Amino acid sequence: EIVMTQSPATLSVSPGERATLSCRASQSVSNKLAWYQQKPGQAPRLLIYGASTRSTGIPARFSGSGSGTEFTLTISSLQSEDFAVYYCQQYNSWPLTFGGGTKVEIK
């Protein structure tokens, strides 16, 4: 099983600032890496797939990078609606696995 590790667990950021979230895989997942956003009481939403491709309707301030075992989600200028929990997930091999999440909170 591929273990996905996200850091930090919590990120405190002021509105308008840049946020950088990390995700590490225990073995290579190539570019089969997705990022999801989840707000309280809501289902997750796909933000990024293929490590760097934004899903339909996702604003350009969200960007993903990386390949192999190291990945990054960057939110260039945090808006109020971006405060949420973010999960990475690999779909390179079964079982599919998620990281533990990074909570982005208002500083």
Partner 1 sequence: EVQLLESGGGLVQPGGSLRLSCAASGFSFSSYAMSWVRQAPGEGLEWVSAVSGTGGSTFYTDSVKGRFTISRDNSKNTLYLQMNSLRAEDTAVYYCATYTGSSGFDYWGQGTLVTVSS
Residue 64 sits in the site that holds partner 1 (CB under 8 A): no
Q: From the CB of 16, what's the least distance to partner 1, in Å?
A: 28
Residue position matching structure tokens 């533990």: 100
The Cα–Cα gap between 34 and 49 comes to 4
Residue 95 sits in the site that holds partner 1 (CB under 8 A): yes
Q: From the CB of 105, what's the least distance to partner 1, in Å?
A: 16
Residue 40 sits in the site that holds partner 1 (CB under 8 A): no
Provide DSSP, 29-51. Answer: -TT-EEEEEE-TTS--EEEEETT
Residues 6+ apart with CB under 8 A from 10: 102, 103, 105
Q: Which of 23, 29, 36, 104 touches partner 1 by CB under 8 A?
A: 36
Residue 69 sits in the site that holds partner 1 (CB under 8 A): no
Q: Which range of residues in 20-28, 63-71, 74-82, 86-94 is near partner 1 by CB under 8 A?
A: 86-94
Handedness of CA 99, 33, 66, 53 (dihedral sign): negative
Can you give the binding site for partner 1, defined by CB under 8 A?
A: 32, 34, 36, 38, 42-46, 49-50, 53, 55, 87, 89, 91, 94-101
